[in-house]
Structure 1
Amino acid sequence: MSGAYVLEAHGIGVRFGGVRALTDVSVGIRAGEVCGLIGPNGAGKTTLFDVLSGIRRPDRGRMLLDGADITRRSPVWRARHGMRRTFQRQQLFGQLTVAEHLLVAQEWRGSGLPGGGLRDRRRRDRERRARAEEVLAGCGISALGDAYAGGLPVGQARMVELARAVADPPRVLLLDEPASGMSAPEREQLAAVVRRLAEEEGCAVLLVEHNVAFVMELCTRVVVLDLGTVLAAGTAAEVRANPLVREAYLGSAR
């Protein structure tokens, strides 16, 4: 896949005291691409996600969104300019229904134009509900709309997190261990949704996942981190055949 990167990170460095979590890490994602980020525990994958999403500011390096420097931009600014993220640990509101999660994700756009009155607010409310229903159907979880998130099993909760992340259409989607705790059919559904987001909606997707087989089947490109540096990058076949990757990670990965 060719073309300009939507999201770029250049020379990212992060230290925790005397420990280098990331050293000169550079990565980019294009529109319509699903890129996998793999590596051993402690390789720096989640730290890189924290930097990309604005939760952690790097000690060195910079990030670009559509060519504009966003290194000092807040997580809220990034989210409102099309960057979405899920987390390794589930982040749902147990007392809200599944549908309410998707409505809340769209609230930042407001309930209507200033001075628009009740009619405008009602129109916006109908639009948000229609979008929520569309996303629930696209994620295969329409039947869960009225269910409270706190009672969902792990696999369904993961899919709800994805649905919430895309309720307001994203340009960049960062998925941290999205398939963790999912059954095989749930992973297939997840992969189908992610492919559709990339291929039909042009979303740039970067995902961290320990399930190597899932990554190799889903991703058009794979980046391998080891000890906070980029060990290799390329197609799934190229990464799988790389002897350095096999020695550092794939020989013991499942």
Structure 2
Amino acid sequence: MREREHVLRAEGIGVRFGGIRALDGVGLGVRRGEVCGLIGPNGAGKTTLFDVLSGIRGPDRGRVLLGGRDVTRRSPVWRARHGMRRTFQRQQLFGQLTVADNLVVAQEWRGGGGGFAADLLAAPTRRAHEAGRRARAAAVLRSCGLDALAGQYAGALPVGQARMVELARAVADPPAVLLLDEPASGMTAEERRQLSAVVRHLADDEGCAVLLVEHNVAFVMELCARVVVLDLGRVLAHGTPAEVRADPRVRDAYLGTPPGDDAR
């Protein structure tokens, strides 16, 4: 697979924390319209890899490519401006804003300043932009099945709904690459089905490249076309869900069950 065919690619990523090797030569790629799962035991390096991919942490070695361009030293904001979005294990919603306003705010980062006088002169344009952002927020909430929550304060939502709002906020400004860190955590079975449908829509219909970390292995195996397994900072295995399930190294290190069982 040639480099240009990957929207996001990591090559030889290494990260150390003192004497601990958190990542050791990790490489993976995610293509347009693909949902790829990243699994492994606690401490395998999954979140550290997400931090490197999103620009929060620089690697000690290796490189990250976005759309074929080396972005290893680029900031998280630069990567966001070029189509990368991310959610986090710990919820990051603006709790004192409504659900709709969370999505509006997610689109405002592209705007510039100009001061009070410029705001007055540009008021009609600003109103038009505001209307456009609110229309986009309403459309995304509908597509995520969240339109009934638009006026509720985000801080009052139960965990599962809050996770879905985080996903909606991440795609309010359409992404090319979406990194989801444990998106199904705290969700009911019905909420996981809704999450899966939204992620499939993003990949299949909007061409988004999706990489997700998730401990619910059954969810990953059902949703993802390809799975990468990390263990002790290295790629232990990668392939289709069936190939990963059948790999004895994966069963020994993580799944602990015969192939075909739903490991959690």
| TM-score past 0.5 threshold | yes
The answer to whether the aligner puts 1:227 opposite 2:228 as a matched pair is: no
Q: 1:125 Cα shift?
A: 1.2
**Aligned to 1:171, which of 166, 169, 176?**
176
Detail structure 1 runs of 4+ shifted over 3 Å in the superposition.
111-116
Question: Superposition pairs for residues 1-254 of structure 1, below 5 Å?
Answer: 4-110=5-111, 117-251=122-256, 253-254=263-264
- What letter corresponds to residue 69 of structure 1 in structure 2? D
- Number of equivalences: 254
Q: 1:226 Cα shift?
A: 0.4
User: TM-score, normalization: structure 2?
Assistant: 0.93
Q: 1:111 Cα shift?
A: 7.5
Q: Which runs of 5+ in 2 are unaligned?
A: 258-262
Structure-2 separation of matches of 1:111 and 1:119 = 15
- What letter corresponds to residue 102 of structure 2 in structure 1? H
Q: 1:75 Cα shift?
A: 0.6
Structure-1 separation of matches of 2:124 and 2:154 = 31
Residue pair 1:22, 1:44 contacting (<8 A) in 2 also: yes
Root-mean-square deviation (Å): 1.8
Q: Which runs of 5+ in 1 are unaligned?
A: none
Structure-1 separation of matches of 2:147 and 2:112 = 24
Q: CA-to-partner distance for each residue in 1:130-171, whole Å, 9 max, x for gaps?
A: 100000001101011110011110000000100000000000
Structure-1 separation of matches of 2:111 and 2:75 = 20
Q: 1:112 Cα shift?
A: 10
Structure-1 separation of matches of 2:110 and 2:133 = 10
User: TM-score, normalization: structure 1?
Assistant: 0.96
Q: CA-to-partner distance for each residue in 1:196-222, whole Å, 9 max, x for gaps?
A: 000000000000000000000000000
Q: Secondary structure at the match of 2:109?
A: helix
Structure 2 CA distance for partners of 1:17 and 1:111, relative to 1, 3 Å = closer
Deviation larger for 112-121 or 162-171: 112-121
Q: Secondary structure at the match of 1:105?
A: helix
Q: 1:117 Cα shift?
A: 2.8
